[in-house]
Amino acid sequence: MSNDALLVLDRVCKSFGPVQVIDEVTVEVHAGKVSVLLGENGAGKSTLIKMIAGVHNADSGRILMNGKEVQIPDTKASEALGIATIHQELNLVPSMTIAENITLGRVPRRFGIINRREMRRIAREALDQLGLNLDVNTPVGDLGLAQQQLVEIAKALSLDARVLILDEPTAALTNAEIAGLFEVVSQLKTKGVGMVFISHHLDEIAAIGDFVNVLRDGKFIATVPADTPENELVRLMVGRDIDAQFPRQAATPGEQNLLSVENLSVGPLQNISLSVRPGEVVALAGLMGAGRTELIRAIAGADKYTSGTVKVAGKKLPRNDVAAATRAGLGHVPEDRKTQGLVLDASVAENIGYATMASTATAGLVDRKGQRERAEKVAARLRIRMGNIDQPIRSLSGGNQQKAVFGRWFSAGAKVLLLDEPTRGVDVGAKVEIYELINEITASGGCVLMASSELPEVLGMSDRVLVMSQGRIAGELATNEATQDSIMALAVSNVHREDEMGKK
């Protein structure tokens, strides 16, 4: 199959300092096929695609395009070869229109003046290729994330991209949006575009992929067909069997509520009441925009709320006061660890220590020895994989970074964990470890309120499910009686009811 390959990475190697990140990896991309890159965080997927994109240069090995060896010294060269990368962080200017974004850097001109009509035509053509019915004069910032992603793909196509690299494109999309994206991918297949697809969601691989390249610790493990059973893929990826993807060990819930929220209202949230008992994991499910993140943040003290009360162990918390919430035993693992959870330039120890810094200080002096010891203890307990505790947390893999955010609250002795998408962008192995942490918290008499968009996670790790819709709690289900369908039915209740009726 190597003869007709569009792009081949042939035994490429890359090391950063003493660490071999990519070790003789061979990957092929074929026209009209989706080649999946699968591996845990830190397996080398990102480095590999950065080589294709011209961000990193291979230390050894060859890169072949249409059978000819090519050099990709920088991103310009990659673009010139017809390679486009859609990163998780999109390269669009929010304040500019779709047309301006698609023609960015190559604006059509006439007599030195921007030819707006031509610009719109190019953009229209690019959108039509994907069957996107959007007004090209809409500012990109007004679009949802999924649509922005499609605009970026359209932009790549209008640059005549032959190879499209999709780096975790589905991580922040809802199921409906993912279906839309996959439709576009299938169209691109028929147009002969070769694609590289990265995802942590095993179910997506069978849905969209043609074959799967498995990486582990920078080494090439195998290329297998996309219809390989999931547990086989997991075994290849982590090198061992993972007994259970969702190892929830239910604890007997206590009698008194540990966390109770009464009639909380703010913005889209209306009169939310809920309670969580010690030993319980309560999941917050719902569509994007249902208000899960807003609710978690309000409880955590991160945002103001207009009315209502939040109590921890019967004691009322002041609103919008994270420090008071922390003292009361709340711990908040926010939605996006990079922008909200971590100080990326600071060390692992410092990041773990922020919540305990003030409470352990004497006369304003940081308890440096104690902070370090606590961080080391927590890092060992959570099995955070790192060189040493003083290393910048930026250099850790996503799963280990996320564990450090958990570690902050473990070290602070939090009894109530508020989790917002706790395993987003985290690989299978680290996911299970995070689930085990959740079990630990509940076994020791703590409780967890977990907002999650992943229904398998909701069903696998919670004891009760609260389904939110349009800023309200639409219903409550016992997890052992809930199904994906029953959750979705509640999640869409009252949403666009007229639309649905009209279509029928």
Partner 1 sequence: MSSVATTPKKGFDFKAFLANNGALVGLVVLCLAMFIATPRFLTGPNLMNIGIQVSTIAVMAFGMTFVIVAAGIDLSVGSIAAISAMTSSYWVTTAGLPDGLSIVVGLAIGGLCGWVTGAMSAYGKLPTFIASLAMLTIVRGLTLVISDGRPIATGDSVSWLGGDLGFMPVPILILIVSGLIAAFVLNRTIIGKNAFAVGGNTEAARLSGIPVKRVLVTVFVISGIFAALSGMILAGRLDSAQPTLASGYELDAIAAVVIGGASLSGGVGRISGTLIGALVLAVIRNGLNLLSVSAFWQQVVIGLVIAIAVGFDVLRRKNVRH
For 32-58, b/e burial (b = at least 16 CB within 10 A) is ebbbbbbbbbbbbbbbbbbbbbbebeb
User: Rule CB under 8 A: is residue 345 a binding residue for partner 1?
Assistant: yes
Decide if residue 17 touches partner 1 (CB under 8 A). yes
Minimum distance, C-beta of residue 332 to partner 1, in the bound complex (Å): 6
Distance CA 95, CA 69 (A): 40
Instruction: Check binding of 422 to partner 1 (CB under 8 A).
Output: no
* Interface of this chain with partner 1, residues 241 to 300, rule: CB under 8 A: 300
Q: What single-letter amino acid sits at 8?
A: V
Q: Which of 283, 348, 355, 474 binds partner 1 (CB under 8 A)?
A: 355
Structure tokens at 32: 């009209």
Q: Are strands 447-451 and 281-286 parallel, antiparallel or unpaired?
A: parallel
Residues 426, 427, 431: CA angle, nearest 5 degrees: 75
Question: Which part of the chain contacts partner 1 (CB under 8 A), choosing from 67-75, 178-186, 219-227, 381-389?
Answer: 381-389
- Least separation in angstroms between CB 167 and partner 1: 10
The reply on whether position 325 binds partner 1 by CB under 8 A is: yes
Among the listed ranges 59-67, 145-153, 243-251, 343-351, the one in contact with partner 1 (CB under 8 A) is: 343-351
C-beta separation of 304 from 264 below 8 A: no
**Contacting partner 1 (CB under 8 A), which of 107, 322, 488, 495?**
322
Token pair of 229, please?
């059973």
DSSP 338: I
Piece of 95-103, 122-130, 230-238, 394-402 that binds partner 1 (CB under 8 A): 394-402
Q: Where are the beta strands (DSSP E) in 127-210?
A: 163-167, 194-198
CB atoms within 10 A of CB 330: 24
Residues 214-233 that bind partner 1 (CB under 8 A): 218
CB count, 10 Å around CB of 15? 14
Q: Kindly state whether residue 340 participates in binding partner 1, applying the rule CB under 8 A.
A: yes
Which residue, 61 or 460, is less far from partner 1 as judged by CB? Answer: 61
Q: Which is nearer to partner 1, 49 or 473 (CB)?
A: 49
DSSP annotation string for 411-448: HTT-SEEEEESTTTT--HHHHHHHHHHHHHHHHTT-EE
Decide: is 31 part of the binding site for partner 1 (CB under 8 A).
Answer: no
Which region, judged by CB under 8 A, interacts with partner 1, from 17-25, 59-67, 121-129, 278-286? 17-25
Dihedral pair phi/psi, residue 443, rounded to 5°:
-65, -30
Residue 18 interacting with partner 1 (CB under 8 A): yes
Q: Which helix (H) or strand (E) holds 87?
A: none
Task: Determine which residue in the list 45, 319, 374, 403 makes contact with partner 1, applying CB under 8 A.
Answer: 45
Q: Is 326 in the site for partner 1 (CB under 8 A)?
A: yes
- Interface residue with partner 1, options 103, 148, 260, 397 (CB under 8 A): 397
| Site stretch for partner 1 (CB under 8 A), options 12-20, 121-129, 311-319, 456-464 | 12-20
d(CA 76, CA 85): 12
Six-digit token string for 371: 């902070």
Beta strands in 89-147 (DSSP E): 109-110, 113-114
Nearest by Cα to 426 from 388, 385, 370: 385
- Size of the chain, expressed as the number of residues it contains: 504
- Residue 73 near partner 1 by CB under 8 A: no
- Interface region with partner 1, contact rule CB under 8 A, candidates 124-132, 184-192, 387-395, 483-491: 387-395
Considering only residues 459 to 488 of the shown chain, the ones binding partner 1 according to CB under 8 A are none
Q: Please tell me whether residue 380 binds partner 1 under the rule CB under 8 A.
A: no
Out of 3, 133, 252, 339, point to the residue binding partner 1 (CB under 8 A).
339
103 binds partner 1 (CB under 8 A): no
For the bound state, the minimum distance from the C-beta of residue 124 to partner 1, rounded and expressed in Å, comes to 36
Site size toward partner 1, by CB under 8 A: 52
Spell out the residues 6+ positions from residue 172 whose beta carbon is closer than 8 angstroms to its own.
88, 145, 424
Cβ–Cβ < 8 Å for 264, 273: yes
Residue 452 within binding range of partner 1, rule CB under 8 A: no
28 and 5 in contact (C-beta within 8 Å)? yes
- Per CB under 8 A, does 364 bind partner 1? yes
| Contacting range for partner 1; rule: CB under 8 A; set: 62-70, 246-254, 278-286, 385-393 | 385-393
By CB under 8 A, tell whether 332 contacts partner 1: yes
Closest distance to partner 1 from the beta carbon of 113 (Å): 35
CA–centroid distance for 57 within its chain: 27
- β-sheet bridge partners, residue 222: 214
Residue range at the interface with partner 1 (CB under 8 A); choices 155-163, 258-266, 388-396, 476-484: 388-396
346 touching partner 1, by CB under 8 A: yes
Nearest to 170 by CA among 47, 288, 28: 288
Distance CA 207, CA 203 (A): 7
The residue from 191, 201, 368, 383 that contacts partner 1 (CB under 8 A) is 368
SS3 state of residue 369: helix
By CB under 8 A, name the one of 106, 109, 394, 497 that touches partner 1. Answer: 394
Q: Is the dihedral of CA 251, 256, 257, 258 positive or negative?
A: negative
Which residues in this chain contact partner 1 in the complex, by CB under 8 A?
Answer: 16-19, 21, 41-42, 44-47, 56, 218, 300, 302, 322-323, 325-327, 332, 334, 339-346, 350, 354-355, 357-358, 361, 364-366, 368, 385-388, 391, 394-398, 400, 408
